[in-house]
Amino acid sequence: MDLDFWLLLASAVVIVAIASVRVAHRTGLPSLLIYLGLGLLLGEAGFGIHFENAHLAQQIGLIALAVILAEGGLTTHWEHVRRAVPTSLVLATIGVAVSIVVLAGAVHWLLAFDWRTSLLLGAVLASTDAAAVFSVLRRLPLPPRLAGILEAESGFNDAPTVIVVMMLSTGSGTLPSVGHVVIDAVLELAIGAAVGLVVGPVGAYTLRRVALPASGLYPIAVLALAFVTYSGATLLHGSGFLAVYLAALVLGNARLPHRMATRGFAEGAAWLAQIGLFVMLGLLASPFELPSTIIPGMIGGLALVLLARPLSVVVSALVTRLVRIDTLSVREQIFLSWAGLRGAVPIVLATIPWAAGVVGAKGIFNEVFVIVIVFTMVQGPTLPYLARVLGISDPGEARELGVESAPLEELNAELLQIAIPPGSLLHGVEIFELRLPSDAAVTMIVRDNHSYVPEPTTRLRSGDQLLIVTTAALRQTVERRLRAISRRGKLAGWFGERGE
């Protein structure tokens, strides 16, 4: 078959994958499940395309994950995750270690796996998936702190798990010592962090001062910087994943020229990487081998969801409380435990021991494939319901709108959208009573499918959608003011409510 056929097939797959996003959005399922299904359909049990090159899948998978992490960093608002970073780092390090040990012990005892296989399975499944978390949680009306914890954790925890899986997949039959793993992991993470925190600021400084002849060159330059960071850190024997996420986080919050165009380009590249990655992983799986791994996969998945992940969250919460970093309520811990979504990352990590020729690695890949499919179908759609039951959803939280607008960019301004939920004390408040800063204004209200420009005496109602323009410097002040009034009414300041 010539190149034209493969180009036609790839284009058709991308179009079908794009169309399926609408289905995924309505059902609440991460789109990765549909993409994996497309891969299985094209594979040996469907159209007959054979693909069993684990080494190539590993290399492509790691590159695709770097693109996805770069997009995650570029689209993450630093002010939303700043307070969550210490807690996320604890979850991504101590929490990952607890999850590996607990899951390894569970499968060793329940399934009689040897310790190397048990630890490999625990390490492969320890990391939450950035693509799955970003696609599901960014649709949920969560408080910024809780959403920030989950987003930052999914960005940080890929790095330590990759290091552990690599170490367990190489070497002789003896397992590496705990001290060896800790020292190597700390060293690689330190190198990766250093590279990311050097390339990010230097790249942002340069792009702000170089007048490129075309606006389309800025997104390409940012993506190139992300790959420079990833490859540079890897060549220095550091963590490329941590480096690319930190560099992208710096670049995404540096007020670069044509920032919205850059974010749009990064989102498109990440979507393409997700589609290609999941379809490839679906092709790599053998449907005829999966039935035999359903029972051990379900046992391992239940041990992960009901034991390893909750214990990792509880231990991390105790650590953050002891060192006075943060205090996670019981409701938040329950939600964090259930929201630890797995996706492409565990499946890609499972190709590492397979490519290295580790005994039983193909079985690990099949078990991880089953776990990801089954438990993503269970966890993804139920997250909104769980958030409502626990009372941690916040429909009135302001959201940034990604509008490609030169005037907003030139004025260093941002456009926010806020919905007034039932029970909010914003209901009945007049516009002038909001007492927003002089550099912020409610520019439009959408009510009962009709939009209009409000007057100072316009009274807000439950169900209204507000569009607010504010300068970037006052964004947090505006959000806090709206949050305070929503909780305690227009006299929130008298009650000491500051909207934190």
Angle at 130 between CA 128 and CA 135, to 5 degrees: 115
- Confidence class of residue 201 from pLDDT cuts 50, 70 and 90? very high
Return the structure tokens found at 301. Answer: 């998945």
Rounded CA separation 66/59 (Å): 11
pLDDT of res. 411 = 53
Rounded CA separation 402/391 (Å): 28
Helix-strand-coil split of the chain, %, nearest 5: 65, 5, 30
pLDDT digits (tens, 9 = 90+) for 285-333: 888 888 888 999 999 999 999 999 999 999 999 999 998 888 889 999 9
**Domain segments of the chain: what residues?**
3-390, 399-495
CATH topology of domain 399-495: Alpha-Beta Plaits (3.30.70)
The percent of residues in the chain predicted with pLDDT above 70, rounded, is 92
What value does the mean pLDDT take over residues 148-154?
Answer: 85
What value does the mean pLDDT take over residues 175-195?
Answer: 87
Angle, helices 178-209 vs 158-169, to 10°: value is 130
Could you write out the three-class secondary structure of 192-217? HHHHHHHHHHHHHHHHHHCCCCCCCH
- Confidence class of residue 492 from pLDDT cuts 50, 70 and 90? confident
pLDDT of res. 412 = 63
- Confidence class of residue 335 from pLDDT cuts 50, 70 and 90? very high
Return the structure tokens found at 125. Answer: 């499944």
Check if CATH label 2.130.10.30 holds for domain 3-390: no
Q: Specify the range with the lowest mean pLDDT, choosing from 343-352, 392-401, 439-448.
A: 392-401
Q: Left (φ > 0), alpha (ψ -120 to 50) or beta: where does 419 sit? A: beta
Rounded CA separation 118/39 (Å): 28
Under a CB-based contact definition with an 8 Å cutoff, are residues 139 and 339 in contact?
Answer: no
Task: Please give the single-letter amino acid code of residue 315.
Answer: V
Place of tokens 């499968």: 107
The percent of residues in the chain predicted with pLDDT above 90, rounded, is 26
**Could you tell me which of 106, 67, 139 has the C-alpha nearest to residue 339?**
139
- Confidence class of residue 403 from pLDDT cuts 50, 70 and 90? very low
Phi and psi angles of residue 399, each rounded to the nearest 5 degrees, phi first: -125, 140
Instruction: Write out the E strands in 328-425.
Output: 399-400, 413-419
Place of tokens 């039959």: 173
**Burial environment of residue 4 by CB neighbours within 10 A (0 to 12, 13 to 18, 19 or more):** exposed
pLDDT digits (tens, 9 = 90+) for 95-112: 999 999 999 999 999 998
pLDDT of res. 54 = 87
What value does the mean pLDDT take over residues 382-407?
Answer: 67
pLDDT digits (tens, 9 = 90+) for 449-476: 888 888 888 899 888 888 888 887 788 8
Taking the mean position of all CA atoms in its chain, how far away is CA 372?
16
* pTM of the entire predicted model: 0.77
- Whether pLDDT at 175 is above 80: no
Rounded CA separation 369/471 (Å): 46
- Whether pLDDT at 248 is above 80: yes
| Run of H or E residues at 446 | strand 440-447
Q: Which residue has the higher pLDDT, 421 or 228?
A: 228
What value does the mean pLDDT take over residues 470-497?
Answer: 82
Return the structure tokens found at 115. Answer: 């310790």
- Whether pLDDT at 405 is above 70: no
CATH fold match for the domains 3-390 and 399-495: no
pLDDT of res. 406 = 45
CA distances from residue 150 to 127, 145, 236, 399, 469 in whole angstroms, order as listed: 12, 9, 29, 17, 28
Q: Specify the range with the lowest mean pLDDT, choosing from 218-222, 444-448, 487-491.
A: 487-491
pLDDT of res. 30 = 66
**Could you tell me which of 454, 447, 443, 391 has the C-alpha nearest to residue 419?**
447
At 413 the three-state DSSP class reads strand
Return the structure tokens found at 312. Answer: 């990792």
Mean pLDDT estimate for the chain: 85
DSSP readout, 161-181? HHHHHHHHHSSSSSPPPHHHH
Q: In 51-177, which residue ranges form alpha helices assigned H by DSSP? A: 54-74, 78-81, 85-90, 96-110, 115-124, 130-137, 144-156, 158-169
Under a CB-based contact definition with an 8 Å cutoff, are residues 399 and 319 in contact?
Answer: no
What value does the mean pLDDT take over residues 35-61?
Answer: 85
pLDDT of res. 3 = 82
What value does the mean pLDDT take over residues 194-213?
Answer: 89
Sheet containing strand 465-471, edge to edge, reads 399-400, 413-419, 465-471, 440-447, 450-452
Return the structure tokens found at 299. Answer: 């046992």
- Confidence class of residue 397 from pLDDT cuts 50, 70 and 90? low
